[in-house]
């Protein structure tokens, strides 16, 4: 499986967009990019996933570069409740197991 690299931590101002980068330079053509988050040791929560096209849902947007070697998760209007650890995960289409790294600790400040 392709590995991912994320910054250890980042801060964001409340009400502003939070842009979370993820590098997955060894990703293969049939691997999807997934994002989950974990708020204060609760169970991880799914955010969004994509293959090669940009995706948007009610929580966030996922921007995948054309060469698919990196992606950015965008939280359009960060709130204090978005403070969490965000995990970028790459998984094969037919490999349902998720491999969690250390993630990015995002702190939203008032």
Partner 1 sequence: NAGVTQTPKFRILKIGQSMTLQCTQDMNHNYMYWYRQDPGMGLKLIYYSVGAGITDKGEVPNGYNVSRSTTEDFPLRLELAAPSQTSVYFCASSYEGKLPTEAFFGQGTRLTVV
Pick 14 or 21: Cβ nearer partner 1: 21
Whole-angstrom Cα distance, residue 42 to residue 36? 12
Map residues 34-73 to x or -, x wherever contact with partner 1 holds by CB under 8 A: x------xxxxxx--x------------------------
HEC-encoded secondary structure of the chain: CCCCECCCEEEEECCCCEEEEEECCCCCCCEEEEEEEECCCCCCEEEEEECCCCEECCCCEEEECCCCCEEEEEECCCCHHHCEEEEEEEEECCCCCCCCCCCEEEEEEC
Pick 7 or 14: Cβ nearer partner 1: 7
Q: Give the residue, chosen from 62, 68, 84, 91, that forms a contact with partner 1 under the rule CB under 8 A.
A: 91
Q: Give the residue, chosen from 8, 53, 96, 110, that forms a contact with partner 1 under the rule CB under 8 A.
A: 96
Q: How far is the CB of 15 from partner 1 (least distance, A)?
A: 27
103 belongs to the binding site for partner 1 (CB under 8 A): yes
In the complex, which residues of this chain contact partner 1 (CB under 8 A)? 32, 34, 41-46, 49, 87, 91, 93, 96-103
């Amino acid at each position: 499986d392709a590995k991912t690299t994320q910054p250890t931590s980042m801060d964001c101002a409340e009400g502003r967009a939070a842009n979370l980068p993820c590098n997955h330079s060894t990703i293969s053509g049939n691997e999807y990019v997934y994002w989950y988050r974990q708020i204060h040791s609760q169970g991880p929560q799914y955010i969004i996933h994509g293959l090669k096209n940009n995706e948007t849902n009610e929580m966030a947007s996922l921007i995948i570069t054309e060469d698919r070697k990196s992606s950015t998760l965008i939280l359009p209007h960060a709130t204090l409740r978005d403070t969490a650890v965000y995990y970028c995960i790459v998984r094969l289409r037919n490999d349902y197991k998720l491999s969690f790294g250390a993630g990015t600790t995002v702190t939203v400040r008032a």
